[in-house]
A and B are shown apart, each in its own frame.
Chain A
Amino acid sequence: MSLVNIHEVHKYYGDLHVLKGINLNIKAGEVISIIGRSGSGKSTLLRCMNGLEKYQKGGITVDGKEVTTEEIQVRILARSVGMIFQSFNLFPHLTVGENIMLAPTIVLKKSKQEAQETAKAMLDKVGLADKFDSFPEKLSGGQQQRVAIARALAMNPKVLLCDEITSALDPELVGDVLKVLEQLAKEGMTLVLVTHEMNFARDVGDRVVFMHQGKVWEEGPAKEVFANPQTDELKNFVNSVL
C-alpha cells in the first residue's frame, strides 16, 4: 500500500486544463522529484496533495485519508503532510521557537514544555540550535528555510512536500538547505519535491517525475531518467537545465 495515492486527477482553472489525468503512487520512504518547465503543473499537483488547491476529477489519498479542500479535512491531513514553501512563510511576529511551537501546542495540544523540547530538537537537526529566540527577519534566507523545515518536522509528518524551496535563495545558501533534505532522506522521511536542483534530484532522489503540459510525461528511477531520457521533451529539458 503506497503512502500517497494519486488517481486520474484533473484540475481546471476556469477553462484552463492544468492537470490532465495524473496518476502517481508514492511509497513510504521514497524521495520523489517532480521536474518540468514552469507552467507544466508541477506546483499545482503538489498543492493538490494537501488540499491547498481543489481538483475537479479523480482522487488523492494520503496515508489512507482522502484529500479535499474542506477545512476540517485539511486539518486532519496537516498531521500527516508537512509543506515547505518557496517563500518560507514564517510568521514574522513570532520568534523562531514560537514559530515551531505554535502548531504543536494549539493543534496537537502538546504541553508547552513538550513542544519546546521538540522545537529545540528540530532546530538542532537543521543546524540552528542557537537561533531559538531570534526573529525570522534577522536570519538569512537559507536559515529561514531551515526553520520552516523544522516547523514542518515538529508536526511529525509522514510526508514532506517541498515546493521549490531553494528557488528564492542566494546560490551560496542553497547547499545548507539541501544538506538538511539529504539528511532527512537518509532517515527515511518521505519527500516530494518540486525542484530545479537537478543534481540533487539525480543524486539523492529515488524517482523522478517529469511533468509536461499537465501530464506525467515520463517517470522512472532518478539516475536512469537523467542518463537515458525517452522522450524528446525530457531530452530538451534535461539539456536546457544541466
Chain B
Amino acid sequence: MLDFAALLPYSHVFIHGLITTVEISLLATVLGLVLGVTFAVARQYGATWLSRVVNVYVELIRNTPFIVQLFFIFFGLPSIGFKLSAWEAGTIAMVVNLAAYSTEIIRAGLASTPKGQWEAGKVLGLSFKQTLFRVVIIPAIEKIYPALTSQCIIVMLGSAVLSQISVQDLTYAANFVQSRNFRSFESYLVTAFLYLFLAILMRKAFNLIGKRLFSYRAER
C-alpha cells in the first residue's frame, strides 16, 4: 500500500532540497542566459575564428550528456588542479550547459532579424552596438522566447543529476528519505510532482517576464 504519511517526518529534508534546487537553477538560468546572449552575438557577428570557437563549444556541449559534463567538471578538473566543491561544480556544469543551448537558440533569433532593421539603424546613425542592443535584440529574443523558456526548464529539470555528485538538491533529498523509510515510490512520486510544480512555476515566471520584455506588443 502507498503510504504518503511516512514522508511527513522528512518534510524539512524536502524543503531544504527544494530550496537548493531553486537556488542553483535560478543562478544557472541567469548566468547561462547572459553568457548565451554574449556567445550568440559572438557566433553571429564575431570574427570568423571567434564564431568557429563558439560553434565548437556549442556542438561539444549539445552532443554530450549533461551527467558526463558534470563528472568531467567535478572529477576531472580537480585532477588537473581546479578544486571545486560539489555545489560549484554543479552550478558551473549547468551554466556551461544552458549557455551552449541558449547560444544556439538566440543565434537563430538574431539570424532571423530582417535586413531592413540593420539598414534603418545605419541610416539613423546608430552604431553596431546601439543597433544590436536598442533595435535588434528584443524582437530577436521574442521570436525564440518559447524555445528559450523550454530550454531553461529542461536545464532546471536536468539539475536532478547533481544529486549524483552529492549536491543536496531535491533529488538528493528524495534518495535520502527513501533510504531512511524505504518508501521509494512515494518519495520519488512526491519529488516528481515538486519538479512538475517548479516547471509550471518557471513557465509562468517566464511568461510574466516576457510580457514586460515585449510590452510593445500589448500596447497596441
Judge A-B direct contact (beta carbons within 8 Å).
Answer: no
Write the residues of chain A forming the contact surface with B, with a CB cutoff of 8 angstroms: none
Write the residues of chain B forming the contact surface with A, with a CB cutoff of 8 angstroms: none
